[in-house]
Amino acid sequence: MKSRIFTLSILTLVLMGACESNKKIKTRQEDPNSEVKSSEAPVDTPAIPASTEPEKKNMMVEIVTDHGTMKVLLYDETPLHRDNFIKLVEEGYYNDLLFHRIIKGFMIQGGDPNSKNAGPGVQLGGGGPGYTVPAEFRPGLYHKKGALAAARMGDQMNPQRASSGSQFYIVQGTVVQENMLQRSGIVYTPEQIQTYTTIGGTPFLDGQYTVFGEVVEGLDVIDKIAAVKTLQGDRPEVNVKMTVRTVKK
């Protein structure tokens, strides 16, 4: 993407931060080489500092928008991403930020602090907290519809595939044919195959970006947000703001 955006490399319709490209990015079915990016941090950005606080297990958050509320479970299998996300939520970091990049049939992306009070036409996708989070790839965590994952810079600038410190995307995706899954080289479980072929997702991103949670209530809200009219750069014509708060499981 043109402006360094935490990207999902190839196989990856990455959440290209709105600041990344001035031309419309298509879904993988239209363009298999497009990525999900976040131009957030420069290559030399340090990794998230080690925390001395106890782990935050079994955490849930709510992402509140004018289109409805999504309840999200954060995975204990990805503790670095879970704890970092909760820290930012508790600081109020995400409140009034935008879903600044939306691609119907692919994903909705937010978490750029520069999106707060951003004027019309401002390119977004390059902001963050000033650090990255080490990748936490887990075979059982995949890009089904509703998956919460971290945006990142592309492989060329980020060979470790470290995640953006704050930018994230939520998968909408599309229903996938089983034969397409078989061509990926990834061995999926029967449950995963059923999910991809009935509910949908973006399997071409698996193993490329860290999945660290999933929407457990409010999948319809993803569809409503993904359906909004967007401008050049995939930014919504009418701002889609968020408020994120922790909730009891």
Give the long-range contacts of residues 51-56, CB within 8 A, separation 24 or more. 51/83, 51/87, 53/83, 55/79, 55/82, 55/83, 56/82, 56/83, 56/86
- pLDDT score of 149 more than 60: yes
Residue 43 pLDDT > 50, yes or no?
A: no
Specify the range with the lowest mean pLDDT, choosing from 14-23, 148-157, 188-197: 14-23
Is residue 71 predicted with pLDDT exceeding 50? yes
**CA angle centred on 183, ends 102 and 34, rounded to 5°:** 25
Domains along the chain with CATH numbers: 60-247 (2.40.100.10)
Residue 10 has pLDDT above 50, yes or no: no
Instruction: Report pLDDT digits (tens) over 94-118.
Output: 999 999 999 999 999 999 999 999 9
Name the more confident of 24 and 142.
Answer: 142
For residues 52-69, average pLDDT: 83
Contacts of 142 by beta carbon, 8 Å cutoff, 6+ apart: 188, 192, 201, 203, 206, 211
163-189: pLDDT as tens digits: 999 999 999 999 999 998 988 789 999
